[in-house]
Structure 1
Amino acid sequence: MTTTRRVFLRSAAGAALAVGVGATLAPPAVAAPAVDNPTSPSRSHMAKVEAAAAKVQPGTRSPNGWLVNTAANKGGSVWTRPVAGTGFGVDVAIGDAETVLVHVIRRFHYEIDTLRPGDVVGFRPPGSIKHGDYEQNHASGTAVDIRPGSYPRGVKGGFLPYQLAVVRDILAECDGVVRWGGDFSVPDESHFQIATAPDDPRLHALVKKLRAWNATPGAGAGVIRDPRDKKRSAAAEKLKRAQT
């Protein structure tokens, strides 16, 4: 299938924006397109990609170290990505953050309760965020709120015991890369966020694991786990102590 220009620009934008904490946004070195490969990115195309990104990325970072965007689907690092098996998409940072957050949403959908369009809030523009703390991570597309109306900020105990066990199991499966708002001093049980910087080895290891699962029938989200399994529950409890 021929890659569309839209998908190409998204992929190129993701590559141009894969920078670590503290790094400045700099043009990537791009070789001149080969004569026999008309799909190679040209310097003019990359210049357009970088110009589009600059319009929506002021250069600031969210508390977890990811680049803040002012809009989604406008050339930056945040795009609407499909959540397989749900019938809807979510605005998140493409690449590693996308892989992790979509996994969290899918497990919630399959194992806690069926989600519908509008149930998950991802990216939020900086100016729309009421609280200047962890909620700023929405502005980089590295946090999602699942049914925020059902689990409002400041309220604890919204999950049934088995549902809470699944939440803990999801967190343990993500090896500490994801934090849950239910563990915050002011609880926000709808909130899940990337807890590491973009260059953290734990993030890269988790993404590698999840992508392997996604490519393997009978693995990944959709395969029901038993959070009461002794090994899994022990891992969940250990992480809970570490994150709270």
Structure 2
Amino acid sequence: MNTPNISRRTLLTRAAVITGTALAMSLPASQALARPAYEGPGTYTVPPEVRAAVRRAQERNKRVLTGIPSKNGWEMENVADDGGSIHTRPVPGTPFAGVAVRMGEVEAVLVHVVRRFHYEIDALHQGEVVGWRKPGKVRKGLPEGNQASGTAVQIRPGHYPPGVRGGFFPHEEIVVRDILAELEGVVRWGGDDRKPDESLFYVDVKPGDQRLKQVAAKLWGWRDEPGAGAGTAVDVLAGERRGEARKLAMSQQAGV
């Protein structure tokens, strides 16, 4: 299975965070900082670098994490591009800098949505795609709150205002439905919600769901497969594709 394209700096940052967090979680903070690592014979104590790593992990968690899940079950984070799980990620083939989303599998599916929209519905430009938003800037009980966990994007929110349906032409909505079907239902369109937001696309499975892992693996595999993935010609009106898209639409709409 291929892995997402993550920079060396990001890998080092994540490794440091994982190490520190693991240390912090292995013992209560007071024990990790006050007790020796080994209580048998000898005078061995916790090395200063370990104590420092624990402190850094605790400080990082306090700064980044909220302890509060968004509507789809993923934890909201206070910051992006600052040591957490949410970073600005490139969207290949588009002219803008990128979109702030949760790295890894979530990134794979949401970037795929944006790319196919750009190629098949209308070209996107800087400022037209909004990913992560601060927890205090979203309504947490609504699907838009998923942006605060890095698991949702808004595409041209000014063009598709909340509460309004019918912003897409019929052929454009067919493409939207095809994208969702290609992602096997792990992403939901806000246009299907009781209170619609046609600009919103969000992850519709909880953390650890195997379906998300499988779909992300499929997308990563397409990067090395000629004629596959976003940007390649697909017939969204082909009988089998159209049938799968209609079936998923009925299922997601019924689950409102």
TM-score by length of 2: 0.79
Bigger shift: 57-66 or 128-137? Answer: 128-137
CA-CA distance at 1:49 after TM superposition: 5.5
CA-CA distance at 1:63 after TM superposition: 1.4
Letter of the 1:80 partner, please give it: T
- Alignment correspondent of 1:233: 242
Identity within the alignment, %: 49
Q: Which residue, out of 169, 173, 177, partners 1:168? A: 177
Moved over 6 A (4+): none
Provide the secondary structure at the position in 1 that maps to 2:165.
coil
Whether contact under 8 Å (1:13, 1:75) holds in the other structure is: no
Give aligned pairs, total: 223
Gaps of 5+ in 2: 1-5, 27-48
Gaps of 5+ in 1: 18-24, 28-41
Question: 1:31-51: CA deviations, max 9, x gaps?
Answer: xxxxxxxxxxx9689654564
Whether contact under 8 Å (1:86, 1:109) holds in the other structure is: yes
Q: CA RMSD in A?
A: 2.6
State the alpha-carbon separation in 1 of the partners of residues 105 and 209 from structure 2. Answer: 11
Whether contact under 8 Å (1:14, 1:94) holds in the other structure is: no
State the alpha-carbon separation in 1 of the partners of residues 244 and 52 from structure 2. Answer: 47
- Alignment correspondent of 1:6: 9
State the alpha-carbon separation in 1 of the partners of residues 149 and 25 from structure 2. Answer: 18
- Alignment correspondent of 1:58: 66
State the alpha-carbon separation in 2 of the partners of residues 53 and 148 from structure 1. Answer: 31
State the alpha-carbon separation in 1 of the partners of residues 229 and 205 from structure 2. Answer: 21
State the alpha-carbon separation in 2 of the partners of residues 45 and 208 from structure 1. Answer: 36
The structure carrying a bigger helix percent of its residues is 2
TM-score by length of 1: 0.83
CA-CA distance at 1:182 after TM superposition: 0.7
State the alpha-carbon separation in 1 of the partners of residues 9 and 177 from structure 2. Answer: 38
Provide the secondary structure at the position in 1 that maps to 2:67.
coil
Q: 1:45 to 1:67 in 2, by over 3 A?
A: farther
Instruction: Please show how residues 202-217 of structure 1 align to structure 2 within 5 Å.
Output: 202-217=211-226
Q: 1:66 to 1:160 in 2, by over 3 A?
A: same
Tell which structure's C-alpha radius of gyration is larger: 2
Letter of the 2:219 partner, please give it: L
Whether contact under 8 Å (1:13, 1:76) holds in the other structure is: no
State the alpha-carbon separation in 2 of the partners of residues 94 and 200 from structure 1. Answer: 15
Q: 1:13 to 1:174 in 2, by over 3 A?
A: farther
State the alpha-carbon separation in 2 of the partners of residues 7 and 225 from structure 1. Answer: 34
